[in-house]
Amino acid sequence: MTQNESTNQPVKKFRAGAITATVWDNEAKEGEGTYKTVSFERSYKDKEGAWQRTTSLRMNDLPKASLVLQKAYEYIALATEA
């Protein structure tokens, strides 16, 4: 998690199974407005049964990652055009 992500609330989240894409609002330098970024992660349970998160994907995760990233792109593109 970056410093911006720890202080900002997500704008939107898209989830497909264990894969999540999160849209964030960010402040541009010196009052030049805002811009959006997208982070993604995969949730999994470790050997002890505790939930963990990673940005590493397995081959079977790729279709879901593609889907949530496409949805995040659509959300940002459509909001920008309005």
Cβ-proximal residues to 29 (8 Å cutoff; 6+ apart), any chain? none
- Its pTM stands at 0.81
At 41-79, the pLDDT tens digits run 999 999 999 999 999 999 999 999 999 999 999 999 998
Domain that holds residue 12: 3-81
Specify the number of domains making up the chain. 1
CB 21 within 8 A of CB 14: yes
